[in-house]
């Protein structure tokens, strides 16, 4: 299954470290991030999940839940969580999905269909494609997707920045420029006419080109 921006995030029911969840019900009326890792008890994944645990308060401020996934069973997650806290200094308090039958991984196109129907006997290398991030809005639609190779740890500060951009641009008719960070100037989207922009931004804007109008970030 190929997923695209603005597609409805596939719903599913799965076992997690915090019990059985129905994904859409779990999201509720807020935002959510589903992120996967190749395998428990592996080095890069340990650093990633620990860092994400440290960032959890920042996501909570933004009304965004986070949930992890790998093709390991839930019992493995619980045991591995002790290693994460010991080595990374943060306890994993968000749920982690156990997906040993690859149901969610395939639903979200994290693994080729030809890679089998079970995680049994698989190594981290076999799961090289399973390092994905999905940002999902309150409407249950996919707002952004990122996929990294097994050997490259993700930049979760960038995921947080991307969430800020998604939330801002969902609320206002603006776009965020290259390397934008929270509080910096934004761009008025071309679909907003100058006449409409004058009503929205009575203090005016900086026009580098007719299609490139810079304005302070709206509240």
Let me know whether 129 and 178 are in one domain. no
Q: For the residues 141-151, what does the mean pLDDT come to? A: 92
Contacts of residue 49, defined as CB under 8 A and 6 or more positions apart, other chains included, come to 37, 68, 84, 88, 92, 96
Supply the range of the domain harboring residue 107.
Answer: 13-153
Domain presence at residue 7: no
What pLDDT score does 151 carry? 84
Backbone CA torsion sign across 140, 142, 143, 149:
positive
DSSP letters, the chain, are ----TTSBPPP-EEEETTEEEEHHHHHTTSEEEEEE-S-SS-HHHHHHHHHHHHHHHHHHHTTEEEEEEESS-HHHHHHHHHHHHHHHS----S-EEE-TT-HHHHHTT-S-GGG-S--TT--TGGGTT--EEEEE-TTSBEEEEEE--TTS---HHHHHHHHHHHHHHHHSSEE--TT--TTS-EEE-TTS-HHHHHHH-TT--EEEETTEEEEPPP-
**pLDDT tens track for 34-83:** 999 988 999 999 999 999 999 999 999 999 999 999 999 999 999 999 99
Taking 60 as the threshold, does the pLDDT of residue 129 lie above it? no
CATH code, 66: 3.40.30.10
Domain presence at residue 131: yes
Let me know whether 110 and 42 are in one domain. yes
> Against a cut of 0.85, is the pTM above it?
yes
Let me know whether 136 and 195 are in one domain. no
Taking 50 as the threshold, does the pLDDT of residue 113 lie above it? no
Q: Which residue has the higher pLDDT, 117 or 85?
A: 85
Let me know whether 43 and 124 are in one domain. yes
**pLDDT tens track for 157-194:** 999 999 999 999 999 999 999 999 999 999 999 999 99
Let me know whether 123 and 183 are in one domain. no
Domain presence at residue 158: no
Let me know whether 147 and 178 are in one domain. no
Q: For the residues 121-129, what does the mean pLDDT come to? A: 55
What pLDDT score does 125 carry? 57
Taking 90 as the threshold, does the pLDDT of residue 110 lie above it? no
Domain presence at residue 4: no
Let me know whether 145 and 72 are in one domain. yes
| Mean pLDDT for the chain overall | 92
What pLDDT score does 219 carry? 86
Which tokens belong to 87?
A: 């080595």
Active site residue 166: no
Let me know whether 143 and 36 are in one domain. yes
Domain presence at residue 60: yes
Give the model's confidence band at 122: pLDDT under 50 very low, under 70 low, under 90 confident, else very high: low
Taking 80 as the threshold, does the pLDDT of residue 112 lie above it? no
Give the model's confidence band at 121: pLDDT under 50 very low, under 70 low, under 90 confident, else very high: low
Domain presence at residue 95: yes
Let me know whether 40 and 138 are in one domain. yes
Let me know whether 149 and 177 are in one domain. no
Q: For the residues 14-23, what does the mean pLDDT come to? A: 98
Q: Which one is catalytic: 45, 74, 142, 215?
A: 45
Boundary of a domain, candidates 120, 153, 186:
153
Domain presence at residue 3: no
Distance between CA atoms of residues 62 and 72, nearest Å: 29
Domain count of the fold of the chain: 2
CATH code, 180: 3.30.1020.10
């Amino acid at each position: 299954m190929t997923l695209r921006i603005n597609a409805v995030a596939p719903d599913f029911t799965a076992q997690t470290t915090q019990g059985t969840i129905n994904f859409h019900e779990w999201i509720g009326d807020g935002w959510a991030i589903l992120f996967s890792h190749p395998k428990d008890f592996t080095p890069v994944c340990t650093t990633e999940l620990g860092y994400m645990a440290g960032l959890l308060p920042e996501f909570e401020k933004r009304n965004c839940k986070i949930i992890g996934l790998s093709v390991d069973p839930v019992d493995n997650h619980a045991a591995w969580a002790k290693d994460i806290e010991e080595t990374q200094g943060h306890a994993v308090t968000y749920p982690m999905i156990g997906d040993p039958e690859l149901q969610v991984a395939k639903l979200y196109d994290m693994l080729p269909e030809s890679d089998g129907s079970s995680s049994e006997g698989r190594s981290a290398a076999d799961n090289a494609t399973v390092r994905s991030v999905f940002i999902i809005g309150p409407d249950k639609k996919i707002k952004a997707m990122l996929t990294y190779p097994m050997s490259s740890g993700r930049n979760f500060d960038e995921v947080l920045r991307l969430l800020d951009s998604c939330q801002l641009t969902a609320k206002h008719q603006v776009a965020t420029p290259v390397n934008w960070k929270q509080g910096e100037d934004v761009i008025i989207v071309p679909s907003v006419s100058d006449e409409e922009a004058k009503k929205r931004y009575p203090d005016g804007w900086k026009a580098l080109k007719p299609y490139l109008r810079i304005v302070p970030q709206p509240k």
